[in-house]
Every structure is written in C-alpha cells, then in structure tokens.
C-alpha cells in the first residue's frame, strides 16, 4: 500500500484521530454530531451515511450508489473516528480507535457498532477535505485530481467510463487529493452534488 505525496498533501496514508484533519480545513467548521447506527456491521469510521431517523430520531444509514439521485436523500455525512467507544471490545489491535480500520484487508464487522448504538458523524460541507473508505479489503486505488462518486455501503468508487449519450445521473462528487494504491483509505475533497454521465 502506498500514498504518493504531492504539493497539496504531504501527510500520512491514513487518518489519525479524526477523519477531518483541522489543518486541511482551516476555513470550514467541522461539526461532530452524536447519532445512532440504524443498521449493524456497516458504520465504521470513514463510511458515508445519511439521516434516516428509523427507530431513533438520529439513526444514520450508509449511503448507496444512488444516493444523491433523489432530492429526498438529504445531507451526506461521514462517520467520525472515536476513542474508547464502550460499544466495542478493547483489544490490543483496536483498543484506542476501535472503529478505525487499517489500510490492510480487514473484516468490517470487527470495527462497527451494533444497531441502535452510538456513533459520531460529521456533515459534509462543500470544500471539506476528509478521509473516506473505498473498500475494506486493502485494494482501493485513487489518482490525484480524479473524481469519485458514492458506491454501495457508504464507500466511494470511480464513476466508470461514460457512455457519451446523456448526463443521466446525479450524485455526490469527491476529488482525490493524493494518489493511493492498494489501500482502504482515500483522502478526498467534497465537491457537492453534480450531474454526470455513467457507463451504459
């Protein structure tokens, strides 16, 4: 796994104690909101999510590939890293930040809370720079300056080659701030909601 540094980013290849480094977001207010996991085994740190307000008024659900194509989907958020969360067992491998997976292949259920338990989320603001997950098996690649969109289970992915026929889908766009190879984590900037062409 590697992260190629560039003139915009000279830091590590994964987040430290937060998915939204303050040094990269000097003019953006980072709001950390207490929320609840609407589903089990999916909401680890770096997963994109949105308010569904199911069992609890603050229930969050991972975004889907179609998130943003419907005006009802709401504001995208990212799950924040938590220290010593009481809903996770403290172990030698994930005791301090139990919901933060490594850049190597990982079993996501080892880093996620049960349904109806506490998580912390950060609503995304346009221009915000943050760490997001592209996969959990250590094989995700990004290219500096390329654009990525939401995928299943709150992850991101490349949008695929356009078919050139029409602008036919709307979604949330993320621009890569560093080239990465064979990682889980990607450093991106949230660009807002856009319309784009997709593979037929």
Q: Which residues contact 24 (CB under 8 A, 6 or more apart)?
A: 9, 129
Q: Is the pTM of this model over 0.85?
A: yes
Q: Which residues contact 180 (CB under 8 A, 6 or more apart)?
A: 1, 2, 3, 4, 13, 140, 141, 142, 186, 187
Structure tokens at 98: 């139990």
Sheet holding 140-142, edge to edge: 2-4, 179-183, 140-142
pLDDT confidence of residue 194: 84
pLDDT confidence of residue 74: 84
Q: What is the rounded radius of gyration, in angstroms, for the C-alpha atoms of the chain?
A: 16
Tell me, what DSSP letter sits at residue 106?
-
3-state secondary structure (DSSP) of residue 198: coil
Q: What is the pLDDT along the chain (200 residues), one digit of tens a residue?
A: 899 999 989 999 999 999 999 999 999 999 999 999 999 989 999 999 999 998 999 999 999 988 988 777 789 999 999 988 777 766 656 678 899 999 999 999 889 988 999 999 999 999 999 999 999 999 999 999 999 999 999 999 998 766 666 666 788 999 999 999 999 999 999 999 887 766 65
pLDDT confidence of residue 170: 81
pLDDT confidence of residue 124: 97
Q: Transcribe 29-49 into DSSP letters.
A: ----EEEEESSSS---TT-EE
CA atoms within 13 A on the CB side of 89: 5
pLDDT confidence of residue 14: 95
Structure tokens at 182: 């064979």
């Amino acid at each position: 796994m590697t992260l190629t540094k560039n003139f915009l980013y000279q830091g590590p290849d994964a987040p430290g104690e937060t998915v939204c480094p303050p040094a990269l977001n000097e003019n953006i207010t980072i709001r950390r909101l207490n929320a609840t996991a609407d589903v089990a085994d999916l909401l680890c740190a770096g997963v994109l999510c949105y308010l569904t307000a199911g069992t609890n008024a603050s229930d969050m659900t991972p975004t889907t590939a179609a998130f943003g194509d419907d005006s009802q989907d709401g504001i995208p958020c990212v799950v924040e890293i938590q220290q010593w969360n009481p809903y996770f067992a403290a172990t030698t491998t994930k005791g301090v930040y139990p919901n933060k997976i490594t850049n190597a292949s990982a079993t996501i259920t080892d880093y996620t809370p049960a349904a109806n338990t506490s998580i912390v989320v950060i609503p995304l603001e346009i221009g915000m720079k943050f760490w997001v997950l592209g996969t959990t098996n250590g094989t995700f690649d990004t290219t500096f300056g390329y654009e990525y969109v939401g995928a299943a289970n709150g992850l991101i992915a490349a949008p695929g080659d356009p078919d050139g026929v029409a602008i036919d889908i709307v979604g949330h766009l993320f621009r890569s701030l560093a080239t990465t190879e064979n990682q889980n984590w990607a450093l991106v900037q949230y660009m807002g909601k856009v319309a784009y062409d997709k593979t037929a």
